[in-house]
Amino acid sequence: MSASKIKIGLAGFGVVGKHVYQQISADHSTQFEIVKVAIKHPELHTETGIPFTTNIFELAYDPDIDVIIELIGGIQPAHEFIRESLRQKKHVITANKFLIAYHGEELRKLAGENGVQLLYEASVGGSIPILSTLNCNLRHHQIHSITGIINGSTNFILTRLHQSPKTPVETILKEARDLGFLEADPSYDLKGWDIQQKLAVIAWHAFGVNVLPGQIPAFSLMELADEDKFLTSYGKLKYFANLEKQDGHLSAWVLPELVTEDHPFYDVNNEYNAIRLNTRYSGNQVLVGKGAGGNPTACSVIADLLAVEHQLPEVKADKQIVVNHNRILDQVYLRAKKGQTKKLILAVGTQGLISRLIGSDRIVVKNVPLVALAELQPLADIVVSLPKSVFIEKIQAPTYSYQTVM
């Protein structure tokens, strides 16, 4: 890389791209120079003095550019663009969790072969420096488990649910959509797909294991309904991402849980994210910060930019660990639809039933106090307390495939 200013090609000038541009111009203009900015719809961009192009591959082939920042999102053309940029020996920084979750292994290999860096701190946890923390510091501590709130949209919705239990769930979802916290199709957030992708990215950096996002059991919030709001009188619902290593087996799962005031994440509200790492040598460590938004996410992009010249320690694959998502749920509340109650109650306790229940989109919540289960049973269509011994090995991963989200 030249000793003068580092030249940057910025692909994407949306929520994150604009803030990256502004932060570099305001704080790092002596060190970095953005030489080209790729966009898709020039008619939307009236800003003057910005070197726009509608051909992202111009950035990959520009011999002056040292570092590519990819902020267009999605799989294509981002995938081919990053591949070509790495082949052209440019460092690449991206916030694209979807791409890294599915193609991280291939892209990391390509970066290594070309002697350049591929960094993607902003793909998980917005402003929280989780990946660099894992890379540089924490793997030595020997991580047992990682628990996190890593989807700001659903945390916002669940926060509103707690704050105004009288507001219908539909109204809260609409509010989230109006504020830009939810896509027109909310499945990506509410079915846990976004969290699955982020878990896959974290799993590599924490444990050196490639986990396929679509195989992680994720219990949907899509079925959250007014009937479930009774839960909020016993605590706050949080949508948890989990990774746990036990006896050489690594499991991941996504599940709504009820937390009470003594839980460290009780006050993690709205779009905030929080990640707790439980380690062998240092016990619990917690990182909390804004999980989305232009400025917070741009901060992580720029942290990568500042790190790009340092050769970061490489994550090594751990071939001893077996990926196995079978988990034990100690106590869950399941609500099934009316009309099916009798049939389902009769079958409680058999694995077949449990897999049928959880495999569908019915609401499943962990950590519901027994008192709540007993008192509130009449309000729920069905409430089941699963003993520790019940494995959920037959639970289907959600109906999620690479194609459905593209």
Ligand X SMILES: NC(=O)c1ccc[n+]([C@@H]2O[C@H](COP(=O)([O-])OP(=O)(O)OC[C@H]3O[C@@H](n4cnc5c(N)ncnc54)[C@H](OP(=O)(O)O)[C@@H]3O)[C@@H](O)[C@H]2O)c1
Which listed range, 72-80, 222-230, 303-311, 321-329, lies at the site for ligand X (CB under 6 A)?
72-80
Q: Which residues contact 350 (CB under 8 A, 6 or more apart)?
A: none
Which listed range, 10-18, 143-151, 157-165, 355-363, lies at the site for ligand X (CB under 6 A)?
10-18
Rg of the chain over Cα atoms, rounded to whole angstroms, equals: 22
> If binding is defined by CB under 6 A, does position 166 make contact with ligand X?
no
> If binding is defined by CB under 6 A, does position 161 make contact with ligand X?
no
> If binding is defined by CB under 6 A, does position 103 make contact with ligand X?
no
Using alpha carbons, list the distances in angstroms from residue 339 to 202, 315, 351.
41, 51, 21
> If binding is defined by CB under 6 A, does position 17 make contact with ligand X?
yes
Residue from 24, 34, 38, 307 in contact with ligand X (CB under 6 A) = 38
Shortest gap between Cβ of 405 and ligand X (angstroms)? 12
How big is the site for ligand X, counted in residues (CB under 6 A)? 25
Enumerate residues 188-217 that contact ligand X by CB under 6 A. Answer: none
> If binding is defined by CB under 6 A, does position 72 make contact with ligand X?
yes
> If binding is defined by CB under 6 A, does position 126 make contact with ligand X?
yes
Which listed range, 91-99, 197-205, 272-280, 320-328, lies at the site for ligand X (CB under 6 A)?
91-99
Q: Which residues pair with 323 in a beta bridge?
A: 250
> If binding is defined by CB under 6 A, does position 235 make contact with ligand X?
no
Residue from 95, 107, 116, 190 in contact with ligand X (CB under 6 A) = 95
Q: Known catalytic residues?
A: 198
Give the Cα separation of 343 and 333 in Å (integer): 17
Using alpha carbons, list the distances in angstroms from residue 168 to 48, 156, 259.
45, 15, 21
Residue from 8, 24, 56, 68 in contact with ligand X (CB under 6 A) = 56
Nearest to 27 by CA among 294, 297, 305, 290: 305
Residue 195 DSSP SS3: helix
CB 38 within 8 A of CB 9: yes
Q: What is the dihedral of CA 203, 204, 209, 214, to 10 degrees?
A: 60
> If binding is defined by CB under 6 A, does position 96 make contact with ligand X?
yes
Give the Cα separation of 7 and 63 in Å (integer): 10
Give the Cα separation of 361 and 377 in Å (integer): 20
Shortest gap between Cβ of 392 and ligand X (angstroms)? 30
> If binding is defined by CB under 6 A, does position 75 make contact with ligand X?
no
Q: State the residue for tokens 């749920």.
A: 329
Task: State phi, psi for 107 to the nearest 5 degrees.
Answer: -70, -35
CB 237 within 8 A of CB 221: no
CB 65 within 8 A of CB 84: no
Closer by beta carbon to ligand X, 198 or else 362 = 198
x/- mask, ligand X, residues 290-319, rule CB under 6 A, reads --xx---x----------------------
Q: Which residue's Cβ lies closest to ligand X?
A: 14
x/- mask, ligand X, residues 274-293, rule CB under 6 A, reads ------------------xx
Give the Cα separation of 108 and 114 in Å (integer): 10
> If binding is defined by CB under 6 A, does position 41 make contact with ligand X?
yes
Shortest gap between Cβ of 120 and ligand X (angstroms)? 9
Per the document, the length of the chain is 406
**Site of interaction with ligand X (CB under 6 A):** 11-17, 38-41, 44, 56, 71-73, 77, 95-97, 122, 126, 292-293, 297
